[in-house]
Amino acid sequence: MTRNKNLSSAKLAAQIISSALPYIQSFAEKTLVIKYGGAAMVDTELQMSFARDVVLLQAVGIKPVIVHGGGPQIGELLNRLGIQSRFVDGMRVTDGKTMDVVEMVLGATVNKQIVNIIAEAGGNAFGVTGKDGQLIRAKKMMVTQKTAAMSVPEIVDIGHVGEVEAIDASVIKMLLDAGYIPVVAPIGTGKDGTSYNINADLVAGKIACVLQAEKLILMTNVPGLLDENQKVLSGLSAERVDSLISEGIVHGGMLPKIRCALEAVKAGIPSAHIIDGRVDHALLLELFTDEGVGTLISDQTSKYSETL
């Protein structure tokens, strides 16, 4: 009885691997840029699930590049140091002391933790920040605010928060060619040497464009893009996404991610995915199954129907 049960389990595993073969073949030697964040970064089981997924991708000939966030970890250390966090339009106001903490958390603690969990899963990762090899050239981001009481918009200086000015991906290409999985912390440098904290989604999108990646994958803590009835919109054209934004269906915290994904697709990336990182093995499910675990955006969407 036990032997029959084991044989059935083995057959099921073989069927799953066999069904993934067409996807593996189509992505072989292609680059995937993955923004790693949300619950998948802080839950121990999800961390190892993510690491195993990434190592498996490389093992079957795919080239993953990881760009990570670290907002909760930054906030936790700031609290421990007695440094108060203040936000403007969802972005952390980053003075000099806060930037020191950001660099320590993103460039050292979080980056090295990701490198280590990939190593534990049998992979070979190499951690860098956007400052290494002038990978990310940044410029200061200025935020414009306007309330009903204001006659003209107010420009708000939020400190060392930047936006991407240019990407020199030669460091990433060198690491990929050497067989490493690059792990990038989203810290950039201005022309004057000033360090800037940059949104990880934006960095991932820009890197995907420069590398001419096959896919951009943004991990988040929601099932994907939801319609007005809270149903997941799983397969969308770029044109449809533009309509959803103009109709106000895409709003709040999801809007920056959707715009990032949309910009990447319009720049020539075949597809961008917003996936639920709270799901075990979310990467493999999204890439190697018909069902997926999120929203796919492309110029010609054929993998999914629009709603699950």
Instruction: For residues 208 and 224, state if they share a domain.
Output: no
Q: Identity (one letter) of the amino acid at 281? A: H
What are the residues whose beta carbons fall under 8 Å from the beta carbon of 99, sequence distance 6 or more?
159, 160, 195, 196, 197
Q: Which domain holds residue 134?
A: 29-213
| Total number of domains in the chain | 2
Residue 307 pLDDT grade (very low, low, confident, very high; cuts 50, 70, 90)? very low
What is the model's pTM? 0.88
Instruction: For residues 230 and 207, state if they share a domain.
Output: no
Range name among 158-167, 227-236, 279-288 with the lowest pLDDT average: 227-236
* 285 CB burial (10 A radius; 0-12, 13-18, 19+): middle
147: pLDDT strictly greater than 90: no
User: Residue 150: what are its φ and ψ, rounded to 5°?
Assistant: -95, 135
Q: Mean pLDDT across the chain, nearest whole number?
A: 86
pLDDT digits (tens, 9 = 90+) for 38-54: 878 888 999 999 999 99
Q: Is residue 1 part of a domain?
A: no
Question: Coil, strand, or helix at residue 67?
Answer: strand
Q: Which tokens go with 138?
A: 């940044």
Q: Is residue 33 part of a domain?
A: yes
Mean pLDDT of 255-268: 87
Instruction: For residues 121 and 229, state if they share a domain.
Output: no
Instruction: For residues 131 and 247, state if they share a domain.
Output: no
Q: Is residue 10 part of a domain?
A: no
Residue 206 pLDDT grade (very low, low, confident, very high; cuts 50, 70, 90)? very high
171: pLDDT strictly greater than 70: yes
Q: Is residue 15 part of a domain?
A: no
Rounded CA gap, 52 and 44, in Å? 13
List the one residue out of 291, 256, 249, 297 whose CA is nearest residue 273. 297
pLDDT of residue 37: 87
Residue where a domain stops, chosen among 213, 243, 270: 213
CATH number at residue 251: 3.40.1160.10
